[in-house]
Amino acid sequence: MIWPLARRNPAIRTVAGAGEIQARFKVEHAGFTLDVELNLPGRGVSALFGHSGSGKTSCLRCFAGLDQPSAGYLQVNGELWQDSAQGVFVPAHQRAVGYVFQDANLFAHLTVRRNLQYGLKRIPAAQRRIALEQAVELLGIEHLLERLPGKLSGGEQQRVGIARALLTSPRLLLLDEPLASLDLKRKQEVLPYLERLHQELEIPIVYVSHSPDEVARLADHLVLLEDGKVSASGPLKETLLRADLPFVFEDDAEAVVDGVVTAHDQAYGLLSLQLPDSQINLRLPHGPLPLGQSVRIKVKARDVSLSLQQAEDSSVLNLLPARVVDWINVAEQAHVLVRVQVGGEQLIARITRYSFDRLQIQREQLLWAQVKSVSLLSTH
């Protein structure tokens, strides 16, 4: 979908900074301080990840102007929405944001259709970038239009909430844990739609989540929040692999890797993926996909082991040539997380300290990574 940026609201000042989002918020509540400075890409999905109470939602509310930080600055692709140094604060209803609430927050007195129209009709026709029918089709909610929100399931409400936000033709889409209140089945129902948003929209999306799976599946950029502060921020893959951090997902350290479908073995039901900048292929049990299709996969650190020889007689499916980059000790000392380069991508191997010493692992060392299992996150 083509989504040229809507014409600017003339009341809003412009500043240099197209192609990026710059934000600085300081919020003080009793017993909690949010103090963050963020530089996010001007398009794609940025995930704000952290435990509950880390300040993710407070941060998102500041983006939307629902809360006014005591001190703050916010610039989105060159539009100045807040600068407390100059006394600039654009109120929420004048910001071109779409906000998807954790519990959908649909208007109970309006049908789905009128919920969708609520934002749409407040946008001047010349600034609309999406028609009602397009949003309805994108989220698959045609059959719900004449119903009241109270008659919808949680997943359906959430899809309507997303469509409603999109229909304001926002310049920034904010999602506050849109899947958190849904059970696994409903999550699976909504996730594909979120992936479509990611692929089809040209606008930046800020996605709040405490689910590693969602983040790995959807995000391009990752911000880690801890106790109201940013502990890391950067492109998803690099940030997941950063060895100087207490590992993002702790015991569930993982790497996210992109690949291209090169073959499908009908007899064994195995899909082959080629890693970027290499001839290295990875195989995983999966149904056929079109050749040349780009896919994103997740490799958990606990599913990767290292060996000095190419162990041909192993039952492990993938044996990949790797080079040691660096490593960190995991808190309880029994394990080491080793980062290795495989083709153009990096993986993390979680091995015991005993094995680490026995293999005498060193930087730049060439060895073999055995990858026991891989899961497919998304296709794009």
Partner 1 sequence: MPLTKADFAAVLLTFELASLTTLLLLLIGTPIAWWLARTDSRWKQPIGAIVALPLVLPPTVIGFYLLVSMGPHGVIGQLTQSLGLGTLTFTFAGLVIGSVFYSLPFVVQPLQNAFEAIGRAPLEAAATLRAGPWDAFFTVVLPLAKPGFVTAAILGFAHTVGEFGVVLMIGGNIPGKTQVASVQIYNHVETMQYAQAHWLAGGMVLFSFIVLLALYSGRSSGRSSTRVWQ
Cα torsion angle, 347, 351, 356, 359, sign: negative
Helix (H) or strand (E) run with residue 330 in it: none
- Of 23, 138, 152, 165, the residue at the interface with partner 1 (CB under 8 A) is 165
Establish if 101 lies at the interface with partner 1 (CB under 8 A): yes
Nearest approach in angstroms of CB 210 to partner 1 is 21
Yes or no: say if 245 and 339 are a contact pair by the CB < 8 Å rule: no
Could you give the CA distance from residue 46 to residue 218 in angstroms, rounded to a whole number? 9
97 binds partner 1 (CB under 8 A): yes
Helices in the chain by DSSP H: which ranges?
56-64, 112-120, 132-139, 154-166, 184-200, 212-218, 236-241, 353-358
Residue 148, interface with partner 1 (CB under 8 A)? Answer: yes
Of the pair 42, 149, the CB lying nearest partner 1 is at 149
Q: Answer whether 84's CB lies under 8 Å from 120's CB.
A: no
**Considering the complex, what minimum distance in angstroms separates the CB of residue 141 from partner 1?**
17
Confirm or reject binding of residue 354 to partner 1 (CB under 8 A): no
Closest to partner 1 by CB, 76 or 97: 97
Q: Is 248 left (phi over 0), alpha (psi -120 to 50) or beta?
A: alpha
Q: List the beta bridge partners of residue 88.
A: 83
Kindly indicate which of the ranges 147-155, 276-284, 285-293, 299-307 contains the residues binding partner 1, using the contact rule CB under 8 A: 147-155
118, 249, 307, 341: which one binds partner 1 (CB under 8 A):
118
Decide: is 197 part of the binding site for partner 1 (CB under 8 A).
no
Give the Cα separation of 135 and 160 in Å (integer). Answer: 9
Q: Does 7 bind partner 1 (CB under 8 A)?
A: no
Q: Binding residue for partner 1 (CB under 8 A) from 25, 49, 81, 99?
A: 99
Q: Does 106 bind partner 1 (CB under 8 A)?
A: yes
Encoded tokens for 298: 């997740």
* Cα–Cα dist 198/236, whole Å: 14
Residue 108 touching partner 1 (CB under 8 A): yes
> Quick one: 165 or 297, whose CB is closer to partner 1?
165
| 280 touches partner 1 (CB under 8 A) | no
* Phi, psi (deg, nearest 5) at residue 84: -65, -20
Query: Does residue number 111 form part of the binding site for partner 1 (CB under 8 A)?
Result: no
Positions 37 through 96 that interact with partner 1 (CB under 8 A): 64-66, 91-94
Compute the 3-state secondary structure of the chain and give helix, strand, coil in percent, each to the nearest 5. Answer: 25, 35, 40
Return the number of the residue (106 or 136) whose C-beta is nearest partner 1: 106
Residues found near partner 1 in the complex (CB under 8 A)? 64-66, 91-94, 97-99, 101, 105-109, 118-119, 122-123, 148-151, 164-165, 168
